[in-house]
Structures are given as structure tokens and as C-alpha cells.
Amino acid sequence: MPASETVDFEREFAELVRELRAVPSEAPQELRERVRALGEPQPARVMRLPRVTRRVALVLASGCLVAVAGAAVAYGLVASSGRPAQHPEAAATFAKLPHGGRVHLNLTRSSTTAEHGVAAFGAATTQQPFALSNSVAVPAPNPNRYQNYQASLRVRVKDFDALGKRTSDAMQITHQLGGYVASVQQSTTSGAPGEADLVLRVPVAHVQSALIRLSALGTVLEQHVSIQDLNAVVSAQRQRILQLKIEIARITATLQQSLPADVRLRLQFQLDEAKRSLSNVTGANASTLRAAAMSRIALSLTTEKTAVAKHHRSFLGRSTHAAFTFLAGAGAIALAALIVLSPLLVIAVLFVLGLRAYRRREERRLLAAAP
């Protein structure tokens, strides 16, 4: 009410106001004594909760937000401080290859590949921590033994241009190491990831160097190495060759003697059979030796983007990702709670407003008429 209005009623109704103030309305002595007898209230023993004012509510809300953010940061740090996910590639190297053994090693960076790097040789298995990088550690062939060395490598390159260039590089590396390119297939279709599949034959003596250099062409996604010891096979083949040669020599010597016609004919058949077998075994032996001399490397170059990058985020990146994941979860919970509670809140607010309106109307009614 403006001050002028106040002054106005004092001036306008001056006489009336004076009369009103003169109405005897002092409290009687009895009532005064009764009130005095109340004395002084005892100080409250219960601890009072702070009055929830707007400021306190604001501080509480801010505190809650800070707490949630702090929890998210803590979660992010804790979640990312552990060792990165154990990957199969974490794992294996070779000591030496026992006789007659076969080794199969899978190295992969893809999280979707469930293969584990294992070096298995009967009971003799050796596993050591093994970090996959572009300079991939690969098992070395044993120069004193015949081994069938096969490897497959999947490497991601940047784009189509890089794909063509890296394909040429891979062929050049193969030639430089004394090998040859068995086959090349390259496909680059717009809108699809580019692929180049090469089958390379590299002398076993240089396979390790070849794999390391090929790995450097891009980001290694997968690497599989298979080593099969061929010494036993070669020995068996040589043994067989020797046996056949001896047999041939024996039959030839026998045929030079005078023999009945039917015996001569039978020996002639045996000689032909032995020569045929010798020819086959000799061919197989040559094939085995060729396989032992030249390794086979299946190289796949691709421009495909994979989830690999996710596993190689920095600590800060992992922490941030975990924190945002936490916040997203908290937000989803809060939203769900709000959705569930909002009808109840609306009902409660309507109830309070209705109650207040009812009480006000009742007060007006009670005070409208003199009792």
C-alpha cells in the first residue's frame, strides 16, 4: 500500500480514526497476569534442521550436481585405470620347436575375434607377454630344420590411394627379399572399403623380416602364423626313396640273371612299380623341400574402419568416455524417476493448491458475517 494512501485515510477519516483509537480495548489485568504466568519458554533441546529456504535448496541442488559430476569423474578414473582389456594378442612367443611339432599362433587386435594367441607343442607350451605393435614380434623359423611356415596378415591402411601404394610396396618388399607374388587381388569400390589380397612366397630365411616390413605398411588388425615342422616328413620320404632305390637295384641285378619267363615278367612288374613309387616319393620330397624353403604369406590390406581405435584410447579418452557413460546412466535414471514421479508431483501440487483455495474460501465465509 503506498504511503500516500495511508496518509490519506489518516487525513480523510481523522475524526473516525481518533474515535476508534479511543475505544477501550486494553487487556484486563487478569489476562495480563495469565500471560505473565507463562514465563519464558525453555530453550529447544532438539536439534533444529536448517530452514529450507530457496538459497538452501539451490545450494543442495548444486551440491547434488557436483556430487554426480564427481562420481562420474571418479568412476571414469577407476574404470580406466585398470589394465586395458586382455586381448589375445597379448600373448605368445616361441622358445623352440620340438621334433615333429606344429605351432599355430594367432595374433589379433580385433575385439570381435575370440582367438587366443597360443603356442602349443604337445605338453611343451610357452607363453610370454607380447605387445602387438606395428613392429610385430614374430616367431623365427628354425634354420636347422625343415618347416612349413605360413602366415596371414591383415593390415588397415588410410584410404584408397594408400591401398594401391601399399600393395605395390608389399610386392616390392617380396621381390627384395627374394620371393615372388603368387597372386594379387585388389578391389576399390566407391562407398565400400577397399581390399587388396596378396599371396606372397618369401624364402623362409627372410620371413621374419618380411612380416615385420609388411606390418609396417599400416595398422595391423590381425596376424596369424602357422609353423609346421617337416623334418619327420622329409626323413620318411628320404627313407622311402632309399628303400625304393635299393629295391630297384636289387630287382635290376636279379633281372640280369637267367630266369624263367614268368619270374622275369613278375620282377619286371615290380621294377616298374618301384620306379613309379620312387618317382612319386621323389616328387613329394621335392615338394616338401620347396614348401620348407618358401614361406606363404597371405596379406590383406583394407581401408575398413574397425573398432580397433576404441581399444587404444588414451587414459584421458577412456576416463572421459567412462565418465560420460556414467552421466548418461545417471541421467537416464533421473529421467525415468521424473517420468514415474511427475504424475504424483502434479497431483500433490494440485492437492495443496486446492486445499489452500478451500481454506481461503472458508475463511472469507467465516469472516463475512458477524458471529
- Residue ranges binding other proteins (CB under 8 A): 1-3, 5-7, 9-14, 16-17, 19-21, 23-28, 30-32, 34-36, 38-41, 43-44, 48, 51, 360, 362-364, 366-371
β-partners of residue 161 are none
Q: How far is the CB of 366 from other proteins (least distance, A)?
A: 4
Best CA proximity match to 229, nearest among 120, 136, 137, 92? 120
Q: How far is the CB of 347 from other proteins (least distance, A)?
A: 24
Q: Residue 138, CB half-sphere, CA atoms under 13 Å: how many?
A: 32
Quote the CA–CA distance of 131 and 181 in Å, as a whole number. 29
Best CA proximity match to 138, nearest among 89, 196, 202, 203? 89
**179 three-state secondary structure:** coil
Q: How far is the CB of 56 from other proteins (least distance, A)?
A: 14
Q: How far is the CB of 46 from other proteins (least distance, A)?
A: 9
Q: How far is the CB of 71 from other proteins (least distance, A)?
A: 36
Q: Say which residues have a Cβ less than 8 Å from residue 225's Cβ, sequence separation at least 6.
A: 103, 104, 105, 106, 107, 138, 139, 149, 150, 151, 211
Q: How far is the CB of 70 from other proteins (least distance, A)?
A: 34
β-partners of residue 199 are 183, 298
Quote the CA–CA distance of 47 and 256 in Å, as a whole number. 126
Quote the CA–CA distance of 91 and 116 in Å, as a whole number. 8
Give the three cell numbers for residue 30: 487478569
For other proteins, which is the closer residue by CB, 18 or 99?
18
Q: How far is the CB of 30 from other proteins (least distance, A)?
A: 8
| Length in residues, the chain | 371
Q: How far is the CB of 52 from other proteins (least distance, A)?
A: 13
| 264 φ/ψ angles, rounded to the nearest 5 degrees | -60, -40
Residue 103 Cα distances to 94, 124, 230, 273, angstroms = 9, 11, 12, 37
Best CA proximity match to 181, nearest among 167, 163, 194? 167
For other proteins, which is the closer residue by CB, 38 or 114?
38
For other proteins, which is the closer residue by CB, 39 or 260?
39
Residue 5 Cα distances to 13, 16, 34, 265, angstroms = 12, 16, 39, 148
Neighbours of 245 (CB within 10 A): 14
Q: How far is the CB of 57 from other proteins (least distance, A)?
A: 17
